[in-house]
A and B are shown apart, each in its own frame.
Chain A
Amino acid sequence: MLKELGLKQIDDLFIDIPKEIRIDNLESPIPSKGLSQQETERLLREIANKNKSCNDLLCFLGGGVKPHYIPAIVKSIVSRAEFYTAYTPYQPEASQGFLQAMFEYQSMIAELTGMDVANASLYDGATALGEAALMCARITKKNSFIIPKNISHSKKSILNNYVKGPGVKVKEVDYDKKTGKIDIKKLRTVVDDNTMGVYIENPNFFGVFEDDVNEINDVVKDANALFVVGVDPISLGITKPPGDYNADVVIGEGRCLGNPMDYGGSSLGIFACKKEYLRQIPGRVVGLTKDKDGKRAFCMALQTREQHIRRGRATSNICTNEGLNALAAAVFLSWLGGIGLENLSRINFEKGQKLAEEIESINGFEKLFSGVHFNEFVVKCPIDPVKINQKLLKRNIQGGLVLGEQFPHLRNCMLFGVTELHSDEDIKRLVSALKEVT
């Protein structure tokens, strides 16, 4: 090939790089020679063995991520190389499979959330919150966004970084110390003419259901602001979709729909909204259309909002999203079906109630909030929760999330999470371990 180019050596192709910056080799930690497959696998096995997975440990962590069961069909479908080795479907005729799957994903997310439209995914739930705030700013042209005090610190930080550009002010509303729900009286005092949107989570970070949603919606709409609701999609099997209580935008972390925890990533940001805002949606959306012969076809729609067309005036800079995770979610949801999801949701709720009852029955432990919870809840511990977790770990149990770091006044509290994966025996094991260590 070099000869056909009239060249002698490969470096003749790199003469346009100034000599001063050309290098001959890369050094440690990049190995000089590559490892064989076999060597690589052996090395990675050694590294992997320094980890304990949530099969090695019995894990009761809450905080937005929990282990869930992934039916075998999900991996079997997302491992199809036609899907996972494809690029963004810029050529619809060669990408009908992925496009239809995304249309179905969007449809099922819309059904689940009670919204009219959904996009084909964002990076994760936290960046979806950032994008939701930016969309509220575009729609209302106002500059204050309200969030509950009890969302994860990480989410708060990401939101603040996302809204730095337009200079949106983020205000916090405290929660009711008894119920763990948002304090509506305080919400009323924070909302004003500058409020572009109000965000609540349902269930919230403490696992508690926000059931005063109709009152909250009234407060939001009186201020001509948008109502943004963050959800755990599994909870929607048994609860009202936010569309039913007039939410304008619904976001959430979609990892629990058929995606492994992957140490926190990759994940899947859900983003759905009312039809009237669809031209302000961030990210890709797939739409229905026809081909030249009038046959049903799918393609990316509303691309004129996107960065590759609109550049500096795009609704978002997002290009690569979490396509394969959205595909996993679509397979998961269609395998489960509406009834299956309702059952899964019920099991999660019941496990949540059972674990809370069991822990409350141990001397010194107390459920902190009176509000009804889903599958996570805050527990006040009789001794330092960090110590509890250390002792549990010796018994191969990963206890709940210690809250002191994010909420200093809750330093004796833990957020426990439980799912359909936890058997009654698992719960018993935790309870007897908690008795032993306190």
Chain B
Amino acid sequence: MYHSAVYDEPLLNEFTEVKKEKTLRIEGIPKSLQRIKEIGIPNLDETQVARHFHHLSQMNYGVDNGIYPLGSCTMKYNPKLCEQIASWDKFANTHPYQDISTVQGNLQIMFELERMLCELTGMDYFCLQPAAGAHGELLGMLLTRAYHEHRKDFERNEVILPDTAHGTNPASATMAGFKLIEIPSNKDGTVDLDILEKTLSDKTACFMLTNPNTLGIFESDILEISKMVHKAGALLYYDGANMNAIMGKARPGDMGFDILHLNLHKTFSTPHGGGGPGSGPVGVKIKLERFLPVPRIGRTREGVYIFDDAPESIGKIKDFYGNFSVLLKAYIYILMMGDEGLREASEVAVLNSNYMKKKILDSKKYDMPYKQLRKHEFVISCERLKQEKQVTAKDVAKRLLDHGLHPPTIYFPLIVKEALMIEPTETESKKDLDKYVETLVKIADEKPETLRNAPSNTPVKRVDEVTATKNPVLTWKMMS
């Protein structure tokens, strides 16, 4: 059985402070700005700090600890070389305003990465600025606005999305000022063409879609969808969170998508860092190029990399050039994989997913609504367990933790009851997949109390998340 390290680790402000030499008096600060109170940050020595954070790290689970099949998150192994190179002084210690002649290496990487991503997705141009997938979506929505406004098509204020969409899609569209229209999926779990047809109008600015969708199902009608959307004068947006299913097999640009974002911290293996930094580059077709953020990266005939301006650009979406350190890691990953490696990654990701799906369904403990063939992820339901034993998807997830396995994404997409959304990725072995399936199957037969009381092998038992929202205590200042 798995056991995590458990420490009753104090908060930093609960340690005994070591005395440090008092600071010197300072002259010259304007009186109204002079600090009167001491800073409420404890004064500790390095040993205390090192052990504290070391203990905390031992109470945390990452991909290097084991399988992490969070659906739509693509938690694959992160090659160590990418980390090492990104921390080289020649990259990490460059200033964004340095003279351009002294950062030709950085510009070369961004210039080439843009073109690699174009080839991979079938888009014409890329912007590397967005810091995450949702940030890319926001940029995509702002580009959509700019496109329609440029055409003096001011009435297009609606964004359509399927009920399986990631939560960021509607949030990004609203942030950019659009009205949302959510359409229900059909019985296969894909876009209902009739409903889409009826919903499209001369008010539609954009249709946002993930393909394969969040059920892991490829939208086989994509060419028809694209035709319908464009006929209505709208744009087609691709949420690239699920790009790991189709690298080297098909390209969103060829499917008819006009704008897309990628999640470099998912598909391109730059680690997620416990919640970031990420990177969400946006690709567009040529008709949207003029609106892309500045600066654009160009190359002269002599091979010198330069920053270009663009008069019709929407401006900027993030300071400087994006999360360069993440871009660099993705660039290295693509070089190390090559065409063959990237395609194989997608093939194995899809193989692993379908293999796991079959094994789980063969056990007859869980059900899977909608179409059978899945891509890199699939969504099963614990609804039967709930009906028969009052055991929920959350209980199953928490019990997985007792076995040292990270649970899948739960309760998403919303159209599957008691959903477990599983994305194994290509970097897990058959043995690991088998073990995961065995455990899931075993859990389904366990006593309901065991599941409801899980986890018990983790540093804390089941956490009361409701209280944290009802009575929020967000800082140690608020504890007293």
Contact = CB atoms under 8 A, between A and B. Distances in A.
A17 B102 contact: no
B68 interface: yes
A265 B325 contact: yes
Contacts of A253: 319
Given A54-B95, A311-B167, A92 B29 contact: no
B445 to A, nearest CB: 22
Nearest to A323: B275
Contacts of B46: 73, 335
Nearest to A101: B56
A382 interface: no
B275 A33 contact: no
A341 B462 contact: no
Nearest to B115: A29
Nearest to A342: B23
Interface stretch (A189-197, A302-310, A426-434): A302-310
B90 to A, nearest CB: 4
26 contacts: A21-B254, A23-B249, A26-B248, A50-B105, A51-B104, A51-B106, A80-B53, A81-B65, A83-B60, A87-B275, A111-B39, A116-B475, A116-B478, A117-B475, A161-B316, A264-B322, A299-B465, A301-B469, A308-B412, A319-B167, A323-B275, A324-B273, A324-B276, A337-B42, A341-B41, A393-B99
B92 A322 contact: no
B469 A107 contact: no
Given A17-B250, A158-B316, A165 B175 contact: yes
Given A123-B132, A239-B35, A325-B277, 5 more contacts: A291-B464, A292-B462, A303-B465, A317-B135, A323-B275
Interface stretch (B81-89, B192-200, B229-237, B382-390): B81-89
Interface string B366-403: 00000001000000000000000000000001100100
Contact of A15 (B99, B318, B351, B373): B373
A302 B463 contact: no
B103 interface: yes
Given A104-B12, A123-B131, A65 B275 contact: no
A158 to B, nearest CB: 5
A266 B335 contact: no
Given A65-B95, A65-B97, A87 B131 contact: no
B243 to A, nearest CB: 13
B81 A40 contact: yes
Interface in B210-263: 217-218, 220, 222-223, 246-251, 254-255, 263
Interface stretch (A170-178, A207-215, A360-368): A207-215
Nearest to B479: A288
A264 B326 CA distance: 11
Contacts of A20: 223
A316 B91 CA distance: 32
Contacts of B458: 93-94, 96
Nearest to B86: A262
Contacts of B204: none
A101 B53 CA distance: 8
Contacts of B406: 91, 94
Contacts of B373: 13, 15-16
A117 B112 CA distance: 42
A290 B223 CA distance: 51
User: Which 5 A-B residue pairings sit nearest by Cβ, starting from the closest?
Assistant: A264-B320, A323-B275, A324-B273, A264-B96, A266-B277
B189 to A, nearest CB: 12
B73 interface: yes
Contact of A240 (B34, B55, B91): B34
A55 B99 CA distance: 14
A338 B95 contact: no
A254 interface: no
Contacts of A377: none
A34 B336 contact: yes
Interface stretch (A2-10, A141-149, A218-226): A2-10
Contacts of A94: 4, 60-61, 401, 406, 458
A333 interface: yes
A49 B102 CA distance: 10
Interface in B264-317: 265, 271-278, 280, 314-317
B29 A239 contact: yes
Nearest to A286: B474
A140 interface: no
A252 interface: no
A322 B397 CA distance: 26
B102 A158 contact: no
B58 interface: yes
Interface in A246-271: 253, 260-267
A155 B319 contact: yes
B33 A209 contact: yes
